[in-house]
Every structure is written in structure tokens, then in C-alpha cells.
Amino acid sequence: MGYELHFETYAEQLGETTAVLHSLMEKYDKPLIHYGKEHYAGRYIQLMREFNYTPSKITELEDFAETLWQTVEKSTPGFCHGDLNPSNFIMSNDKLIFFDFDCAGISYPVNDISTICAMTESFADFKKTDREMPIKKLALLRKGYEKHRKLNEHDIPAMYAFIGLSCYWMAGQHYKYKTHLQDRKWVNENYFDNNYNWLVQLRNLAINKHGFSSLQNVVNTSSGINPIS
């Protein structure tokens, strides 16, 4: 289904299916990979260093990644698909089917909620990315998710923090699959500047609104969406 998915139509079902997956995997007793800050942010920071990007900007983004991760660490850990973007689920006979579990492991389940809403591949074109759209969609997805799994006061701000970490992670995926950087056409100053500007705007929005814990209500209020309590 990919990007043909009409999000508003299936948002509640997406939330429910994601929650059921998380609950089922709580019973899985085999070893799973654990994903931490290095997986989500470290690879992109390393890529900036390899490119010799502006040191002060690297430090700035490194500090922001740490802030985001500190918010995430307060969330409830558990199984996470790790890449629930619209290319990795389809609708078949009115049922949602998830696939492509190569990034699955132990992390923070709320990342799956954020990834669905942020649609990580859209970060490839920063000019077209609506920074508020992922946050608006979270309210819709939560309605279905919380039918099966309750989110606590730490899970909510972590979802918004993962929106920022998704930008680091997606850029890190480029690094993962082009380790030797033989084709450097896509690795240029403009590419890093776009990432930097997007993340700084997100950071400033969070700071101006007193942190990610209050970002939900601020954005929902300004956009006319009723927060889900």
C-alpha cells in the first residue's frame, strides 16, 4: 500500500495492530538485538565527522541527540519493529500486515508510533516536509493504540523525541548502506545543512514550548486537534 495509504482512514487500525504486535512480542523469550542511541543517532554524527562538516554544528546536533535520547530513555522499553514506515505494511482483506523486520529488536515501542506518523522516507525532501504533520497524526494513532496498551507520562514526550531521532536515523541508514562512500554526490554541504536546519527548528520549537513534555498540547492546541488524555 505504501504511500497510497489514506492515513486518516486507517490510523486507528494502525494503532491497534501496532499495540497487538508489541503485546505479543512481550511473550517472546528468545534473544533479540538491543538498539540504543548509537543506532538512532550515532551513525549520522559519525558521517558528519567523516565529511568534515562544520564542527560547531556537529556539536550542536550531538547535544540535541543527547537531549532527545534522555527523553526517550524515560519511556517504557520493549519490542520495537524499528521501521514501520508506510512502505513496510499493507492492507489485505481489511487487515493490516507488517513486514520487513530487519530493524526489529529491543528498544522503545513508542518509536513505532512515531515512525508511522513521521513517514521517515519523507525526510529526504526537507522542503516538502510538514514539521507539524507527524505531530497531528500522533493523536489519531494513539486512539487505536491505547485500546490495547496504555501510554504513561514518559511515553508521550518520547514519541515526539523520536520524531527528531528519525531524522538522525534515516541519514544514518545512508551511512550504513554506503559505508565506503564511493558515491559522494549525495553527501554534500547542502545535504547536511538541510538536516541541520530541520533539527534546529524542531529543537527550538521544543525549547520555546518548555520541552517535549508540553509539545503535544501546544501543537494540538495551535492546530485545532484535541489532545487524547
Per-residue pLDDT tens over the stretch 192-225: 998 898 888 878 776 655 455 544 443 333 333 3
Residue at 229 is within a domain: no
Q: How many domains does the chain have?
A: 1
Q: Is 85 part of a structural domain of the chain?
A: yes
Mean pLDDT of 145-150: 95
C-alpha cell at 10: 486507517
Structure confidence at residue 226 as a pLDDT band (50, 70, 90): very low
**pLDDT band at 135, cuts 50/70/90?**
low
Q: Which 3 state secondary structure label does DSSP give 24?
A: helix
Q: What is the mean pLDDT of the chain?
A: 79
Mapped onto helix, strand or coil, the DSSP state of residue 101 is coil
pLDDT of residue 194: 86
pLDDT > 60? residue 186: yes
Q: How much is the pLDDT for 132?
A: 54
Residue 61 phi, psi (nearest 5): -70, -30
Output the domain CATH number for residue 170. 3.90.1200.10
**Closest by Cα among 117, 121, 123 to 137:** 117
Question: How confident is the model at residue 21, as a pLDDT?
Answer: 97
Does residue 19 form part of some domain?
A: yes
Cβ atoms < 10 Å from Cβ of 147 = 13
Residue 10 in any domain: the answer is: yes
Q: Comparing 30-39, 50-59, 118-127, which segment has the lowest mean pLDDT?
A: 118-127
This prediction's pTM: 0.80
As a whole number of Å, the CA-based R_g of the chain is 17
By residue range, what is the domain housing residue 134? 2-223
**What pLDDT was estimated at residue 214?**
47
Region of 85 please: left (phi>0), alpha (psi -120 to 50) or beta. Answer: beta
| Residue 228 is assigned to a structural domain of this protein | no
pLDDT number for residue 173: 77
